[in-house]
Amino acid sequence: MTHHVRRTALSVVTGAALVVAVAVPASADTNVQDGLVNLAVGRITITDINVNVAAQVAAAICGVRVGPVLVLANLVDAGNPDVTVCKVANFPVKILQN
């Protein structure tokens, strides 16, 4: 079961990374509250992802509602500390400041 969860989480994160890579142009600007955060699942980190997409991916991986996760993502984007949304197969799902 752990292998299945890990494989599913990796698939979701990889798919989101591909969507974000196409949808959001790369930017060297790392201003606070720029609408972008980083999403880390275990040792995999997606950088400069839109807060809405990060919240949707984290909620899907954790099996929780998107609304509260979006609130956390916006708080991190505004400069608050990084948050761990949940742990899946002992891997933390974190939203980090970019």
The pLDDT-based confidence of 46 (bands split at 50, 70, 90) is very high
Query: Cα–Cα distances in Å, from 54 out to 2, 10, 23?
Result: 23, 14, 13
Q: pTM of the predicted model, to two decimals? A: 0.68
80 confidence band (pLDDT: 50, 70, 90): very high
Closest by CA position to 48, among listed 39, 56, 57, 37: 37
Closest CA to 20 of 45, 54, 44, 43: 54
At residue 79 the predicted structure's pLDDT band, cuts being 50, 70 and 90, is: very high
- Reduced to 3 states (helix: H, G, I; strand: E, B; else coil), residue 89 is coil
Q: What is the mean pLDDT of residues 56-83?
A: 96
Give which of 60, 53, 58, 63 is closest to 83, Cα–Cα: 58
Domain tally for the chain? 1
Q: What percent of the chain has pLDDT over 70?
A: 67
Range of the domain at 52: 2-97
Query: Does the structure show a pLDDT above 90 at 30?
Result: no
